[in-house]
Chain A
Amino acid sequence: MPLDTSTTYPLTKLRLDGRRWNELRLLQAQISTNPASSGSSFLSMGNTSIMCSVHGPAEGKRGDATGGAAGSAGAVVEVDVNVAGFAGVDRRRRAGGSDRQSSRIATILRSAFQSHLHTHLYPHSTISIHVSVLSADGSLLAAAVNACTLALVDAGIPMPGLLSACTSGMSGSASTPRDPRNDFLDPLLDLSLPEEQELPFLTVGTTTAVPVGEDAMDEDDEDMKVSMMVMDSKVHCTYLETMLAVGIDGCKQIREILEGVIKGTNRGV
């Protein structure tokens, strides 16, 4: 019997690494790891390890042909993603940020944080984020978003909330419409690399939103706003709401872990 999730999960209801459908991998994070930068963080979600450093808000470079940060009304976020050659199973010779995966993650991160941070406080400035992937084992974009959030909080850049991201998928091929009588697929949270290669998944990032309406003065604020969503898989639309709900709940769990990391660091000062 081959070891894949769609075959073994209906038998045992456990994934390949022994987790249930709604369990995160071990998330360990640390901020202020690099004293040479304005803010830095190191984050590992399972076997995915990411180092992130933030420089700025600094003055933008002059003479840029595209205009850059010199004439903008707010700060410009620049992201550079570097996946190390030893990050995957097969060593890649040409390391750097020029391959398609790194540039795509950098584009998503730049658009996510450009609209997320309070950039209007720093006109004509540049916030540079450098992401180094040390080990890649699935959920790479989600781990990069969480590492960038920690580094930006360490740098003291104002933001309306913590942007946390998570992946969620289905436990089998979800190409056909969902049958309520014969529903054997389960959503999965925080996919690892073998699960990402086999199953459909999406990456969702949420931040704390401001409540509106008559419950705006409610003391317990649990509302969230989906700031980022990336999906490349073929999934029938009936499964999308399930995957989104599980992903948003995973983001909530990750945000609580990130808040614990920030409070643990600030308490020691």
Chain B
Amino acid sequence: MASTLPSLAIPGQRLGPVSSYSAGPGTHVQNANIYASIAGPVVVQQAQPSSKVKSILSVSRNLPRKTDSSTSTTPAKTTSTTTKPKLRYNTLPAVDSIVLARVTRVQKRQATVSILVVLDESASSQSPDPSKTASDNDNIVSILTSAANPENHSSSDELRFQALIRKEDVRAVEKDRVVMDEMFRVGDIVRGSVISLGDQSFYYLTTARNDLGVVMARSEAGNMMFPVSWKEMRDPVTGAAELRKVARPF
């Protein structure tokens, strides 16, 4: 009895027998049947015609909120298009991931940051298609706009992943002359690369590349500054320059 698969699964809905499909993410097996565990569209990965492996039946996560699809604490946005090479169910910071984080504490030897966005590995390794870039940029811009607002700094920091930028990882040259107060300030938005998953509490980031560093910062007067060189940002209202470890714009 090959019944048609529903396009949208509800937790507890029976999808098919285990003799026809293998259970993938988002499903569970009970009494020789595959049931959905989460709500979302049903995806069937067709098996190779030559091999004897069955098709993999999985339920993907389709978040209704677009702004949450890029954050690291919620599951990532997945679509059922065939152009996507694989389904992504969770966006966690991994080694060599490019993340956007906000500086929460600056100390003498390290800076504590709170990870806001985990950029896609496809966005960093290769150039994606323009529609995907537009949607990702829209998401990231809205996240950074709300993140740069000082009103919601303390309320959402405990839900984010914390990370450290050590003094030796700030820049690639003149490591011994780094002064942390001239590199970062509390509230800056930093683009960094994950170099280690770290210990139980902190990831380890590095900004020792030209395209890594501070991407958004507010001046002493509270205005959004623009970068003028690799170590200097300027306030457009007052004209005062402040020292930062500035990331190279794309």
A212 touches B31 (CB 8 A): yes
A-binding segment of B37-45, B164-172, B189-197, B228-236: B37-45
The listed residue (A38, A58, A159) touching B11 by CB distance below 8 A is A159
For residue A214, give the distance in angstroms from its CB to the closest CB of chain B.
12
Contact B159 A55 (CB under 8 A): yes
Q: Tell whether, in the assembled complex, residue A262 and residue B67 are in contact, meaning their CB atoms are under 8 Å apart.
A: no
Q: How far is the CA of A55 from the CA of B62 in the complex (A)?
A: 18
CB distance from A187 to the nearest CB of B (A): 26
The answer to whether A216 and B31 have CB atoms under 8 Å apart is: yes
The distance in angstroms between the C-alpha atoms of A207 and B37, with both chains bound, is 13
A-contacting residues, B132-156, CB 8 Å: 155-156
Query: Which A residues touch B200, using CB under 8 A?
Result: 62
Overall SS of chain B's interface? loop
> When the two chains form their complex, are residues A158 and B28 in contact, meaning their CB atoms are under 8 A apart?
yes
| A160 CA / B27 CA spacing, docked (Å) | 9
Contacts of A208 in B (CB 8 A): 12
Q: Describe A's contact surface by its main secondary structure.
A: loop
Q: List the B side residues contacting A221 at CB < 8 Å.
A: 14
- Is A185 close to B, CB under 8 A? no
Q: For window 248-269 of chain A, which residues contact chain B by CB distance below 8 Å? A: 259, 262-263, 265-269
Q: Across the two chains, which residue of chain B brings its CB closest to A150? A: B39
- Residues 120-141 of B contacting A (Cβ, < 8 Å): none
Q: Are A162 and B33 in contact (CB under 8 A)?
A: no
Check: A156 CB closer than 8 A to any chain B CB: yes
Is B245 on the interface with A (CB-CB < 8 A)? Answer: no
Cross-chain contact A158 with B38 (CB below 8 angstroms): yes
Which residues on A are within 8 Å of B, measured CB to CB?
31-32, 35-36, 38, 55, 58, 62, 118, 153, 155-162, 207-208, 210-212, 216-217, 219, 221, 259, 262-263, 265-269
In the complex, what residues of A have CB within 8 A of residue B14's CB? 221
Q: Hey, which bits of chain B sit against chain A, CB under 8 A?
A: 1, 3, 8, 10-12, 14, 17, 26, 28, 30-33, 35, 37-41, 61-65, 67-68, 73-75, 155-156, 159, 200-201
Q: Which residues of A contact B33 (CB under 8 A)?
A: 210, 216
User: From A39, which residue of chain B is reached at the shortest CB distance?
Assistant: B74
Q: What are 10 A-B pairs at a CB distance below 8 A?
A: A35-B68, A58-B159, A153-B11, A156-B40, A158-B37, A161-B12, A208-B12, A216-B31, A266-B64, A269-B64
Specify the chain A residue showing the minimal Cβ separation from B74.
Answer: A38
B156 touches A36 (CB 8 A): yes
User: For residue A158, which residues in chain B have a CB less than 8 angstroms away from its CB?
Assistant: 11, 26, 28, 37-38
